[in-house]
Amino acid sequence: MGRRKGARCSPRELLSPLPTALAAALCVLGFTAATAVAAPSPEAGAAVLGAAPGSQLIELALPLYADQQGLEQFALAVSTKGSPQYGEYEPIAELASRFGASTLTRGRVLAYLKRVGASDVKIDATGLFADATMSVGLAERLFGAPLARFRAAHNVRFLAPTAAARMPAGLRGLATAVIGLDTQPLSAASPPLIDAGWVHQGARSAQANQPSGYKPRTGTASGCPNAVASGGFTPNQYLTAYDYLPLRLAGYAGQGERVALIEIDGFRYTDILSFARCFKLPVPGINSFGVGVAKPLSPGGESTLDLEVLDAAAPGLKAIDVYESRNRAVDLIRALTAPLQGSGSKPQVISASLGVCEPGLLQAVGTHGIALAEGSLAMAAASGITFLSSTGDSGSSACQGAVGPLALTAVNYPASSWWVTGVGGTNLGLTPGNQIVTQPVWNDAPLQLGAGGGGLSVLRRPSYQKAVVHTDHRSVPDVSMLADVAPGYVIYCSAKGDCINSHHSSPWVTVGGTSASSPLLAGGLALVDQYLRFHGLQGLGLANPLLYAIGTSKLASEVLYDVTTGNNDLGPYLPDGNHQPLGCCSAAPGYDDASGWGSIDLAHFAQVAAAVEPKIAAVTLSLPSGQRPVARNQLAATVSCSRGCLMTAVAEVQIGNGKPFAVDANVYLLRNRGHKTIAIKFSTRQLNRLRAALSQNRSIAATIVGEVVDPAGNVERRTLGRRLTIRA
């Protein structure tokens, strides 16, 4: 049984005991595991510049006491075949009301923060944390932690507390922690994009053999001449290799699906158009949203790569929502929930090409912050959203020091979350027909580039990994796709620095990273989601339970390309190490910490998903007798579902031979089979039109349909229309 509403779940219940390797990483990074907020130490390479200006504004997030355990139990239940609740996803608003902070807690937190002088105070849509902006002076008084200015490597300047923060009396028992007092940028999982030619040149200058992962482009490239000449893989190659084409040729291109990307740089729309023209692709509508930023971020290689690979995979998407965020701790928390905000359409798939090594994240946000992030991602899963994240590009050594990756094994978050499919990286050797011949783990040693994964996560092992992971810790990656920068993906990118620089002057560049493998798979899973809905089945949601069930079944060889060669151990080439291997991790038959289950044969995965996903609820409609729509200001319709569902009703009203107008109703949740009589209320303007028409003895007819919708607001099933004549 889940906990009662408002029950408190300790974040330690989410975490395994801190592994020795991670404790060592915290020490090397200058962190302590004991406090949620600590001052940078001399070992962290940060110099104190003086006290922080008291008037400077900082943005904070305050995790609230909520039913975290109940939320996670529900998220697993709706995501796991065999559960009575499998596929019965709920809208974010319903989940927030059910598992988020209580109404009383929310009200008291808002009132307190406003009373003490904070601004922009609100409760996040998840109901799991509060946002607030306040001056440094106010934050110091409230949380009892003096803030100072620091300068770190590469002249990075930030604020951080010089003592542990404490919760003020007015928030005790309501909020668990404060996030955002430390504004130091968190290391992203992916380094700046690097041209494949530079990789090869750099390896030679290091007086080494070719990088272990390096392969000249194989297979048969297709596209405009400048793109093909760049030497990277073109869309026809990786889409053929991973078996996207059967779905694409059958007409599945992502129509009706919405995908969100979480990014830390911007893009030029003209670059996306140039890529699409080269490969004869349409471009979905792209919407940009700032997360903690007042204007769009400068164009960069990350967003450009993600958008172009996603467009190649799913060019018919209904929309792509890009959330541009800075990489501070508070921004990471907000970015994870940004696609869940508002009452409009939500994405079916989210891909995050960013990440933070877990020891660094633990220092920045503490155990309560990690618990908050896990709760936010669990809520996405509970609403049926598929979330993916890149595992990073520094091999099994995810944490970054001043001069490169640290010689310690660690994994990146959010790829290590229970509720996220962590996507690692490989390289490809292809036949002339672009079929896979070889697929080793990405490792470009002696350069410090390789597929992220391996090491012990601070998070406990989820139940879906129990059969293959023999420690108590979450293991990543879950799967892997093409990521090697040599030969890499060909993209069109005119961003100065990342793409146009001293190494190459052409915007046609070849790049890689797990920040490409994640959106590639995100686009593929959007196709699978579309395929499922077309066949009257629930969407995919959290993919991991199904992936692990397939991996341990006889279907594994049909759905998964097992990666059995290569490793992601960069230990001998790390600048601060002893030039010895870290001991992690090598590919092997079946699941392993270097490649997960390997890569996915998308067409076969879609077929297996269609065999196990539950059917969308059947819906029927009846109209109650004796209706007086104008007198009662509404129509009424009784909608029935064959199982738990989200239901609504819609009317189309026509006066005489005029143009019909639509009348919508609220969406209602039925947790079990049953029915509900729904009021379809007229607006004041609509009601006045109806009265005027009746006074002129004009005919009025309403056609009413019942609908089953998904938590994102998309119609999944619709009844035939029932006609009702509206009389005085």
Question: How much is the pLDDT for 533?
Answer: 94
Which residue type, as a one-letter code, is found at position 97? S
CA distances from 232 to 494, 500, 529 (A): 17, 16, 29
Bridge partners (DSSP) listed for residue 639: 621, 676
Is this structure's pTM higher than 0.75?
A: yes
The phi, psi pair for 464, rounded to 5°, reads -70, -10
**Other Cβ atoms within 10 Å of 100 Cβ, number:** 29
Judge whether 711 and 538 are in contact, CB under 8 Å: no
Question: How much is the pLDDT for 80?
Answer: 95
Position 554 pLDDT exceeds 90? yes
Report the share of the chain in percent with pLDDT over 90.
77
The phi, psi pair for 341, rounded to 5°, reads -80, 160
Tens-digit pLDDT profile for residues 567-621: 999 999 888 778 899 999 999 999 999 999 999 999 999 999 999 999 999 999 9
Question: How much is the pLDDT for 32?
Answer: 34
Q: In the structure, what pLDDT confidence band is assigned to residue 12 with cuts at 50, 70 and 90?
A: very low
Better-predicted residue by pLDDT, 524 or 503: 524
Question: How much is the pLDDT for 17?
Answer: 54
Peptide bond into 211 cis (omega under 30): no
What is the pLDDT averaged over residues 311-328? 96
Judge whether 378 and 419 are in contact, CB under 8 Å: yes
Q: Where are the domains of the chain?
A: 196-612, 619-725
Tens-digit pLDDT profile for residues 55-73: 999 999 999 999 999 999 9
Question: How much is the pLDDT for 646?
Answer: 93
| Domain at 619-725, CATH class | mainly beta
At 391, list the tokens: 């595992």
In terms of CATH, what superfamily is 196-612? Peptidase S8/S53 domain (3.40.50.200)
Tens-digit pLDDT profile for residues 263-288: 999 999 999 999 999 999 999 999 99
Question: How much is the pLDDT for 195?
Answer: 54
Q: In the structure, what pLDDT confidence band is assigned to residue 215 with cuts at 50, 70 and 90?
A: confident
Position 211 pLDDT exceeds 70? no
Position 414 pLDDT exceeds 80? yes
Tens-digit pLDDT profile for residues 136-177: 999 999 999 999 999 988 788 999 999 999 999 999 999 999
Position 342 pLDDT exceeds 80? no
Position 14 pLDDT exceeds 90? no
Surface-to-core class of residue 696, CB atoms within 10 Å of its CB (0-12 exposed, 13-18 middle, 19+ buried): exposed
**Mean per-residue pLDDT of the chain:** 89
Single out the residue of 391, 387, 289 nearest to residue 341, CA to CA: 289
Question: How much is the pLDDT for 505?
Answer: 87
Q: In the structure, what pLDDT confidence band is assigned to residue 199 with cuts at 50, 70 and 90?
A: low
- Helix 358-382 to helix 68-79 angle (10° resolution) is 60
Which of 18-22, 429-433, 500-504 has the lowest average pLDDT? 18-22
